[in-house]
């Protein structure tokens, strides 16, 4: 049916690529855009282009940023002796929202998962080690998810980092097994990051 309206089916196809969005929802969103004012539709398109043009990844911590290095890496008020390692930018944002941590970050962009073809080379692991070798950091908090892959990633990193003589810890309590930090409430993240365990 939609094939006879190419411009509409093109938008539906694009929207259906989003995570958690199937064809039905994509069609609903497309109808919503169709019914909205042209200025609104343009504002959406512009916001998407603007994001793609301006947002980059910080060359130090790999968080998303408009300026490189990012504000988190350049803020002199933040403790540069502690670095918190997370899987995804969303995890960093959750920890920031909980206001439980005032050091620096390092975003891996994933976790070890042979089933998905992700090994150490596919993650920002080597430059984490380079950062640590510079000598200013004396504690690493491994805040990867409490999933099978997140746990293995934490263990792999711990074994990589410990020979450098740096303290390695992992949030210990509060986050239920198998959960993503991104989806856990702020109070729980706060408890987890402040009550960490030595590895």
Partner 1 sequence: MQLEKLTLRNFRNIEATEFRPHPVFNIFYGSNAQGKTNLLESIYLLGSLKNFRSARNDELITHGETAATIIGCTRQNDVGHEIRLDINKEGKQARLDGKVINRPESYLSCLRPVVFAPEVVGLIKGPPAGRRQLVDRAVFQADAGYLENVQTYSRQLKQRNRLLKTGGQVEQVETWSSELARTGARIRYARAAYLERLIPRLLDSYRNICGEKETISLNYRAAGKGITELEQELLDEYGRQLEQELRYQMTLCGPHRDDIEFMVDGRPLRNFGSQGQQRSFILAFKTAQALDLQQLHGEPPLLLLDDLTGELDKRRQERFYQFLLNLKTQVFITATDIRPLHDGGIKEGYFIRVKEGNLHNDKS
* Cα maximum dimension of the chain: 65
Side-chain-facing half-sphere of 75: CA atoms under 13 Å: 11
Q: Considering only residues 65 through 124, tell me which ones interact with partner 1, judged by CB under 8 A.
A: 112-115, 117, 119-120
Q: Which of 26, 30, 73, 181 binds Zn ion (CB under 5 A)?
A: 73
Nearer residue to partner 1 within complex by CB, 110 or 120? 120
> What's the CA gap between 112 and 150, in Å, rounded?
7
85 binds Zn ion (CB under 5 A): no
Q: Which of 60, 142, 143, 156 binds partner 1 (CB under 8 A)?
A: 156
CB of 61 to Zn ion, least distance (A): 3
> What's the CA gap between 73 and 195, in Å, rounded?
24
125 binds, options Zn ion, partner 1, none, Cβ within 5 to 8 A by partner type: none
Site residues for partner 1 per CB under 8 A = 112-115, 117, 119-120, 148-149, 151-152, 155-156, 159, 177-178
């Amino acid at each position: 049916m939609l094939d006879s309206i190419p411009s509409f089916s093109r938008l539906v196809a694009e929207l259906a690529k989003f995570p958690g969005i199937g064809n039905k929802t994509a069609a609903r969103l497309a109808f919503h855009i169709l019914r909205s004012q042209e200025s609104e539709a343009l504002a959406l398109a512009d916001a998407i282009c603007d994001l793609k043009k301006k947002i980059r990844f910080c060359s130090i911590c790999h968080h998303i940023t408009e300026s490189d290095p990012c504000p988190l890496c350049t803020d002199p008020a933040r403790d540069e002796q502690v670095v918190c390692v997370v899987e995804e930018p969303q995890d960093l944002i959750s920890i920031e929202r909980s206001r439980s941590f005032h050091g620096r970050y390092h975003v891996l962009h994933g976790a070890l998962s042979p089933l998905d073809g992700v090994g150490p080379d596919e993650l920002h692991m080597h430059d984490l080690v380079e950062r640590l070798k510079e000598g200013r950091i004396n504690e690493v908090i491994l805040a990867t998810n409490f999933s099978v892959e997140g746990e293995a990633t934490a263990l792999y990193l711990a074994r990589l980092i410990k020979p450098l003589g740096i303290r390695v810890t992992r949030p210990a309590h509060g986050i239920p097994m198998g959960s993503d930090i991104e989806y856990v409430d702020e109070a729980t993240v706060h408890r987890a990051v402040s009550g960490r365990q030595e590895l």
